């Protein structure tokens, strides 16, 4: 709940927008049969609502006034029947409406979620997770209100009002017209009220957003407030908003306190008119008393929908705003698309070539400047260099998280933009420095829930990277739930788990960002061993931090300031006496004085500096 998204949250537009509505209705189309049912029962229910007073009228005029006990019994039975039918109809209508709405919203949510999966990293860099979550969950929820309360409620109210007016006119048009004389005035007043209510609603939402933002800011910045001794100042600022909010709400209390009694007065006025005019008619023997009784009941039922109008209006408005935001999200095209004729060769060799690759996240600020190198199938390449030099960008570009700005990346001689995205990624195994664990059990974290990975394969992968003994010792073994942010697992174990994950997917090309965090010597040995297992018979690109990894690599690329600075084997580079040699020299010397759990690393020298 950041102030930022509250800001955009509060743009309330029109309560009805034909273009948006048409698009919303498209989601209901698959369920038109159910909708028809709901609509039919809505009409039927309105019918039962209308018939109650009518039965009363018949009972009075035909039977009570004519002393017909048997007829009265029948009428009472009919009344009871209508009551139960009303129950049934209303239930069916509510249920089908809700069912349709929920189905449609489920579809919409799925569409949003699937759409998000196709976006590239640049999109996620620009759209905070919180905002996207709001779209997928909260905005859809608001839209659902539109179905369950807004549209259906409004339709039902409309039917009721129109139906009552029609029945009244049919029973006695003169009397009905007399009763309806107050109606234009009521419409006018409720329009006035609705405007005020909307204004207050809008204002209250805005000020509530500010209140929440202020609250959030104060909780987050409480240390600063205390350090500067500004509690009183912040308090008075909060007071201003808090009491401002109260005052807006008091206004709404006032409007309600005026509006509802006024509606009641009008309702009484109408009944007064009815008695006055209807009384005259009865005296003239034109109508019978039952009509008056029925009219009284009709009038009371007619006023209810008018009271709810403002609330429903607000729901409509909020739903329109939400749908607008949702559609804006859906209309953002995926930037990294599959090519029209994607290539997905059966045979996968695992050859990688960068040809003069340039990459810029922001125009004019390239992070990779003309990177060119070739990796033969099965070759292991270590990338070393300072933070911000471009190592991570190289692997991001290879995974096609971002498309290159200039040049091209070839895998097995095919430009990665011509590859089938999914097919290519299935051949790439990515192990990130910060191991991301999903909530769920250990097994699901190794297989990522992919059904193609059998549990034998999963367990075998865990064995090969030496994490199996640890997992088997857990109370629930492979079905042990992983705690939030992985507190059940140590840093080292998390690394091993991510190795198991990569191994289970059996990629031809392994992309590894080695973790810098130091682990105890024993775990270090396990990791080195597991790494060896993982790299076996695969092409590998490693952002290396361990001296052992670097030494074992077939070739080392020293990446500095977005360029390849030096390359060669460990021995060659040392002999060269360049950047790599100096880093190594420094680290070695430092290590001589402070043992750092056996992992010597030129990179760390730079990164901790």
Footprint on residues 15-74 left by another protein (CB under 8 A) = 52, 55-56, 59-60, 63-65, 67-69, 72-73
* Least distance in angstroms from the C-beta of 102 to another protein: 5
The CA distance from 10 to 382, in Å, is 51
For another protein, give the closer residue by CB, 18 or 232.
232
Strand order across the beta sheet in which 414-415 lies = 365-375, 352-362, 406-411, 414-415
Is 102 among the residues that bind another protein (CB under 8 A)? Answer: yes
Q: Which long-range contacts (CB under 8 A, 24 or more apart) does 187-193 make?
A: 189/259, 189/262, 189/263, 189/266, 190/259, 190/263, 190/306, 190/309, 190/310, 193/255, 193/259, 193/310
Is 328 among the residues that bind another protein (CB under 8 A)? Answer: no
First CA to last CA distance, the chain: 37
Q: Which of 361, 433, 426, 406 is nearest to 120 (CA)?
A: 361
For another protein, give the closer residue by CB, 472 or 607.
607
C-alpha of 37 from chain center: 31
For another protein (CB under 8 A), the number of binding residues is 148
The CA distance from 437 to 454, in Å, is 20
Is 9 among the residues that bind another protein (CB under 8 A)? Answer: no
The CA distance from 580 to 602, in Å, is 8
The CA distance from 153 to 157, in Å, is 6
Binding mask 130-159 for another protein (x = CB under 8 A): --xx--xx---x------x-----------
* Least distance in angstroms from the C-beta of 526 to another protein: 22
For another protein, give the closer residue by CB, 15 or 489.
489
For another protein, give the closer residue by CB, 375 or 511.
511
Residue 414 contacts residue 444 (beta carbons within 8 Å): no
Binds another protein (CB under 8 A): choice among 32, 91, 170, 188 = 91
For another protein, give the closer residue by CB, 166 or 257.
257
Is 425 among the residues that bind another protein (CB under 8 A)? Answer: yes
Binds another protein (CB under 8 A): choice among 184, 223, 333, 363 = 223
Q: Which stretch binds another protein (CB under 8 A): 21-29, 185-193, 443-451, 466-474?
A: 443-451
Residue 359 forms beta bridges with which residues? 368
* Least distance in angstroms from the C-beta of 208 to another protein: 8
The interface with another protein within residues 292-311 (CB under 8 A) comprises 292-293, 296-297, 300
Is 190 among the residues that bind another protein (CB under 8 A)? Answer: no
Residue 598 contacts residue 606 (beta carbons within 8 Å): no
The CA distance from 539 to 487, in Å, is 32
* Least distance in angstroms from the C-beta of 165 to another protein: 21
Q: Which of 397, 403, 395, 399 is nearest to 334 (CA)?
A: 403
Binds another protein (CB under 8 A): choice among 106, 195, 374, 532 = 106
Q: Which stretch binds another protein (CB under 8 A): 110-118, 315-323, 352-360, 520-528?
A: 110-118
For another protein, give the closer residue by CB, 22 or 129.
129
The CA distance from 30 to 108, in Å, is 12
Binds another protein (CB under 8 A): choice among 40, 216, 552, 569 = 216
* Least distance in angstroms from the C-beta of 590 to another protein: 6
Q: DSSP letters along 506-551, please?
A: --SEEEEE---S---HHHHHHHHHHHHHHHTTSEEEEE---HHHHH
Is 12 among the residues that bind another protein (CB under 8 A)? Answer: no
Q: Which of 134, 138, 143 is nearest to 28 (CA)?
A: 143
Q: Which of 535, 526, 566, 503 is nearest to 380 (CA)?
A: 535
The interface with another protein within residues 491-520 (CB under 8 A) comprises 501, 505, 511
Residue 384 contacts residue 558 (beta carbons within 8 Å): yes
Q: DSSP letters along 124-158, please?
A: HHHS-HHHHHIIIIIIHHHHHHIIIIIIHHHHHHH
For another protein, give the closer residue by CB, 13 or 483.
483
Is 438 among the residues that bind another protein (CB under 8 A)? Answer: yes
Q: Which stretch binds another protein (CB under 8 A): 316-324, 455-463, 521-529, 577-585?
A: 577-585
* Least distance in angstroms from the C-beta of 19 to another protein: 27
Q: Which stretch binds another protein (CB under 8 A): 9-17, 215-223, 471-479, 541-549?
A: 215-223
Binds another protein (CB under 8 A): choice among 231, 481, 506, 554 = 231
* Residues belonging to the chain: 609
Q: Which two tokens stand for residue 168?
A: 């009244």
Residue 549 contacts residue 598 (beta carbons within 8 Å): no
For another protein, give the closer residue by CB, 100 or 317.
100
For another protein, give the closer residue by CB, 173 or 438.
438
Binds another protein (CB under 8 A): choice among 36, 226, 476, 595 = 226
Is 230 among the residues that bind another protein (CB under 8 A)? Answer: yes
Q: How far is CA 309 from CA 45, 141, 197, 305, in A?
A: 20, 21, 10, 6
Binds another protein (CB under 8 A): choice among 103, 202, 205, 463 = 103
The interface with another protein within residues 348-407 (CB under 8 A) comprises 386, 399, 401
Is 212 among the residues that bind another protein (CB under 8 A)? Answer: yes
Q: How far is CA 494 from CA 314, 445, 468, 485, 489, in A?
A: 49, 10, 12, 10, 6
The interface with another protein within residues 249-288 (CB under 8 A) comprises 249-250, 253-254, 256-258, 260-262, 264-265, 267-269, 271-273, 275-276, 279-280, 282-283
């Amino acid at each position: 709940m950041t102030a930022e998204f509250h800001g955009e949250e509060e743009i309330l537009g029109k309560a009805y927008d034909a273009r948006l509505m048409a698009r919303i209705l498209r989601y209901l189309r698959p369920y038109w049969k159910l909708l028809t049912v709901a609509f039919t029962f809505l009409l039927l229910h309105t019918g039962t609502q209308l018939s109650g007073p009518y039965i009363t009228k018949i009972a009075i005029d035909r039977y009570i006034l004519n002393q017909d006990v048997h007829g009265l019994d029948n009428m009472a039975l009919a009344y009871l029947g209508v009551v139960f039918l009303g129950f049934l109809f209303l239930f069916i209508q509510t249920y089908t409406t809700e069912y349709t709405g929920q189905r449609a919203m489920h579809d919409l949510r799925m569409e949003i979620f699937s759409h998000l999966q196709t976006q590239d990293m640049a999109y996620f860099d620009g759209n905070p997770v919180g905002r996207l979550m709001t779209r997928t969950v909260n905005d859809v929820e608001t839209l659902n209100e539109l179905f369950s309360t807004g549209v259906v409620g409004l339709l039902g109210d409309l039917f009721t009002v129109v139906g009552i007016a029609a029945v009244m006119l049919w029973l006695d048009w003169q009397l009905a017209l007399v009763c309806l004389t107050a109606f234009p005035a009521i419409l006018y007043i409720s329009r006035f009220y609705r405007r005020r209510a909307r204004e207050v609603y809008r204002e209250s939402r805005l000020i509530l957003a500010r209140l929440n933002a202020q609250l959030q800011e104060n909780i987050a910045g409480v240390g600063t407030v205390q350090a500067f001794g500004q509690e009183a100042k912040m308090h008075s600022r909060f007071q201003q908003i808090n009491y401002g909010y109260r005052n807006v709400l008091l206004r709404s209390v006032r409007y309600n306190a005026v509006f509802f009694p006024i509606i009641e007065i009008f309702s009484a006025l109408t009944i007064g008119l009815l008695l006055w005019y209807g009384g005259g008619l009865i005296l003239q023997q034109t109508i019978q008393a039952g009509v008056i009784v029925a009219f009284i009941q009709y009038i009371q039922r007619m006023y209810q929908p008018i009271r709810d109008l403002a609330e429903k209006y607000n729901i409509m408005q909020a739903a329109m705003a939400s749908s607008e935001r949702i559609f804006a999200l859906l209309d953002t095209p995926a930037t990294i698309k599959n090519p029209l004729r994607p290539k997905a060769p059966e045979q996968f060799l695992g050859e990688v070539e960068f040809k003069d690759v340039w990459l810029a996240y922001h125009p004019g600020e390239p992070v990779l400047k003309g990177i060119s190198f070739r990796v033969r199938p099965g070759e292991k390449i270590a990338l070393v260099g300072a933070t911000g030099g471009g190592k991570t960008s190289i692997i991001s570009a290879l995974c096609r998280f971002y498309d290159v700005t200039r040049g091209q990346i070839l895998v097995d001689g095919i430009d990665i933009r011509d590859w089938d995205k999914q097919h290519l990624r299935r051949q790439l195994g990515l192990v990130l420095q910060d191991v991301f664990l999903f909530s769920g059990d250990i097994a699901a974290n190794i297989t990522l829930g992919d059904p193609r990975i059998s549990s034998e394969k999963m367990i075998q992968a865990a064995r090969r990277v030496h994490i199996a003994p640890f997992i088997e010792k857990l109370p629930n073994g492979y079905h042990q739930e992983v705690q939030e942010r992985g507190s059940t697992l140590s840093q080292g174990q998390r690394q091993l788990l991510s190795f198991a994950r990569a191994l289970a997917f059996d990629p031809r090309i392994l992309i590894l960002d080695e973790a810098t965090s130091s682990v105890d010597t024993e775990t270090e040995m396990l990791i080195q061993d597991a790494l060896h297992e993982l790299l076996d018979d695969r092409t590998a690109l490693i952002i290396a931090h361990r001296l052992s990894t670097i030494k074992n690599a077939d070739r080392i690329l020293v990446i500095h300031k977005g360029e390849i600075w030096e390359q060669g084997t460990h021995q060659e580079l040392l002999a060269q006496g360049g950047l790599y040699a100096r880093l190594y020299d420094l680290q070695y010397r430092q290590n001589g004085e402070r043992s750092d759990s056996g992992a010597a690393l030129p990179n760390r020298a730079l990164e901790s500096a």
